[in-house]
Amino acid sequence: MALTGDLSELNLKGVLGLISSMKGTGKLEIISDSIHIVLHFKDGNIVNAEGDKDPISSFQKACGLTSGKFEFIKTTDIKESNVAKTLQTLTNDIDTILSRWEEIRKRFPSYDVVFDIGEISGEEVKLNPEEWKLLSLIREPTTLHALLVNSPFGEMKTIETLLQLFDKGLITFEFETEDVLKEEDNVIPVKETGWYAVNTPIYGDKNIAFYNKIDGRKDFPTLCKELGITLREGRQTLRYLLTNGKISLKKKAK
């Protein structure tokens, strides 16, 4: 019997428990809007994760999903990562990760957020290397979606680090209530032609429709308009395609 369902009915902790009890070897595919995550298992133990910057952040990102179709596919073609033991430790501590996501959702019930530099005070503020790296990405009003694309860290670490910068008064943020064109939107998506890009599947009807519209000439706002989607929806799809190596972005000439 195939293990399929939706995370809105059975959360990831429950799914992991079932895979462990059946000592399953295979991959768990999770698709939610513009997100595609794959968790690899061997004899019921997680050994790899894909879908974010690295296996650890990919697993953490999967923990943050509250909905999305999932399917466990039995296969022996498993990619075991060099952090398999760490992933297995994280599954044992999944309640802590889920609690961290709960705190994030309290602060960011929506990802339609724009960050900007805060007012500089005279007080000395100490920053760790991760905070410095993210702060350097905010030179002007910047959306959370853009930061998640450009951040060297995974989604959970990026958002938690942004909250640390906010709590230190170094950045501000506000939620977008209107679908406004931003400087970062003035780009032309271009399909990548390398072997990996061509052979990587695209999941989700919205993502497929957007990708099929890309011709290397139309800019991002035009594609959104032709598809009848908002710029905010388009940014999510753009991030998905960029993360999966399907496209690159060319700056639109002024």
Q: What is the pLDDT of residues 236-247, one digit of tens each?
A: 899 889 988 899
Q: Which of 103, 130, 151 is the last residue of a domain?
A: 103
Helix (H, G, I), strand (E, B) or coil at 114: strand
Q: Which residues contact 109 (CB under 8 A, 6 or more apart)?
A: none
151 and 117 in a common domain:
yes
| 12: nearest Cα among 60, 44, 55, 75 | 60
CATH number of the domain that 242 lies in?
A: 1.10.10
Q: Which domain holds residue 200?
A: 183-251
144 and 69 in a common domain:
no
pLDDT at position 215, please? 95
pLDDT at position 166, please? 94
Q: Which residues contact 50 (CB under 8 A, 6 or more apart)?
A: 37, 38, 40, 58, 79
210 and 190 in a common domain:
yes
36 and 72 in a common domain:
yes
pLDDT at position 20, please? 95
φ, ψ of residue 6 to 5 degrees: the values are -130, 140
61 and 10 in a common domain:
yes
What total of structural domains would you count in the chain?
3
Please answer whether residues 45 and 92 qualify as being in contact, where contact means their C-beta atoms are separated by less than 8 angstroms: no
pLDDT at position 79, please? 86
157 and 135 in a common domain:
yes
CB atoms within 10 A of CB 6: 12
The tokens for 26 are 């295979």
pLDDT at position 120, please? 65
Spatial separation of the C-alpha atoms in residues 70 and 87, rounded to whole Å? 19
93 and 41 in a common domain:
yes
99 and 8 in a common domain:
yes
Please answer whether residues 186 and 251 qualify as being in contact, where contact means their C-beta atoms are separated by less than 8 angstroms: yes
CB atoms within 10 A of CB 59: 28
Mind giving me the DSSP string for 43-64? TTEEEEEESSSSHHHHHHHHHT
First-last CA distance in the chain: 56
Spatial separation of the C-alpha atoms in residues 206 and 229, rounded to whole Å? 9
pLDDT at position 254, please? 67
pTM: 0.82
125 and 91 in a common domain:
no
88-119 residue pLDDT tens: 999 999 999 999 999 999 998 888 899 999 87
Specify whether the backbone of 10 is left (phi greater than 0), alpha (psi in -120 to 50) or beta.
Answer: beta
pLDDT at position 204, please? 82
119 and 99 in a common domain:
no
Amino acid at 32: S
129 and 65 in a common domain:
no
Which residue stretches of the chain have pLDDT < 50?
A: none
